[in-house]
Amino acid sequence: MAETRIPVLNVKIDPVTMNEAVLIVENFIIEQKSRFIATANAEMVMMAQTDTELASILNKADLVIPDGAGVVWAARYKGHSIPERVAGYDLVQELLRKSAQKGYRIYFFGGAPGVAEKAKQWAEQQYQGVCIVGVRDGFFTPEDEPEIINQIKLCKPDILLVALGVPKQEKWLNQNLHHLNIPVSIGVGGTFDVMAGVTIRAPLWMQRANLEWLYRLLSQPQRAVRMLALPRFVLKVLLPKKH
């Protein structure tokens, strides 16, 4: 892991490349301790400004990848060196590829009913030999949680991917990490939706031009209120703090 974390509006980000992030995950699997990885974008950082529980969880995470172009821009604007954006979706694809090569056991938890199953089927077609040991949708009550935790533990995954949305997935993992006893747990947001074909990711040229946010807004107008976090994030980075 990078020695110095970079503060972006008081959320500390690890300035890692994709290759470094994958190596860190592989080392976590070897170490066999319960580790939590967060995928920080501008929306999550803005939530953490008013949600002190989320801020605390992010700042004690074992790895916080720079998932959003906004986070990379903010770090560089403040004079920090951050090599690249490491999108959570892309990290998941790299880990699925590694699972196919090295047999890492992966569990999918979250999404609407049927989505994790579809994402699993897509991954099995995409990565021959991938080892997905279980799936569970993200619709549950507090009474269901002991059974869900037991089900996950019985599958003995090396990597648990949790898609409950921000901040629910981070809070759920923070609460249950010590029960789960899994080497690597990652909050992955809408990753299963993209894999299952429920939502379409921006074309590569828009990703490279840091316009993925614009594609999401145009293709999902219902996200407009949530997307207001982006201009607020930019202003908060640009404007000096009022004393």
Q: What is the pLDDT of residues 6-42, one digit of tens each?
A: 999 999 999 999 999 999 999 999 999 999 999 999 9
> Would 145 be classed as within a structural domain?
yes
pLDDT band at 230 (very low <50, low <70, confident <90, very high): confident
The pLDDT tens digits for 76-123 are 999 999 999 999 999 999 999 999 999 999 999 999 999 999 999 999
User: Could you tell me the pLDDT band of residue 226, with boundaries at 50, 70 and 90?
Assistant: low
Q: What's this model's pTM, rounded to 2 decimal places?
A: 0.91
Backbone angles phi, psi at 29, to 5 degrees: -65, -40
In a domain, 230, yes or no: no
CATH of residue 126's domain is 3.40.50
Rounded-to-integer distance, Cα 133 and Cα 156, Å: 8
Give the C-alpha separation, 93 to 74, whole Å: 26
- Overall domain count for the chain: 1
Q: Looking at the domain assignment, is residue 219 inside a domain?
A: no
**If you average pLDDT over every residue of the chain, what do you get?**
92
Residue 233 lies in a domain: no
Name the residue among 86, 106, 85, 109 with its Cα closest to residue 96.
106
Question: How long a stretch of residues is the chain?
Answer: 243
55 assigned to some structural domain: yes
Q: What DSSP character marks residue 36?
A: E
Nearest to 8 by CA among 234, 229, 243: 234
Q: How far apart are CA 129 and CA 182, in angstroms?
A: 21
Residue 28's domain comprises 15-195
Do the strands 184-187 and 105-110 form a parallel or antiparallel pair, or are they unpaired? Answer: unpaired
Q: Nearest CA to 170 among 8, 49, 1, 37?
A: 37
Residue 1 counted as domain residue: no
Q: Is residue 58 part of a domain?
A: yes
